């Protein structure tokens, strides 16, 4: 997991639910750093630098495409 890179940063756990489903559909290995902390103490999210989506560098372009697709086709705002 040390070789994983940050693909996106979110402030709240509800922002990542649809994205998790899409990443699972594509079979992309990922994890959300600080997700548990944000779900237990949402106000700490900003102090810890947000919920960071980390993926393998080989999957980065695919993940960026998924993020762009979600931003373009939905009312979701994914940073």
pLDDT of residue 33: 93
The pTM (predicted TM-score) of the whole model is 0.81
CA dihedral 50, 56, 57, 62 (to 10 degrees): -90
> How confident is the model over 4-16, as a mean pLDDT?
90
Domain ranges of the chain: 5-73
Q: What is the mean pLDDT of the chain?
A: 86
Strands 5-10 and 51-55: antiparallel
């Amino acid at each position: 997991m040390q070789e994983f890179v940050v693909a996106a940063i979110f402030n709240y756990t509800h922002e990542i639910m649809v994205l998790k489903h899409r990443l699972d559909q594509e079979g992309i290995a990922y994890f959300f750093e600080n997700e548990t902390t944000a779900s237990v103490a949402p106000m700490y999210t900003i102090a810890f630098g947000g919920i960071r989506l980390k993926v393998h560098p080989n999957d980065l372009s695919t993940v960026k495409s998924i993020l762009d697709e979600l931003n373009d086709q939905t009312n979701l705002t994914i940073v």
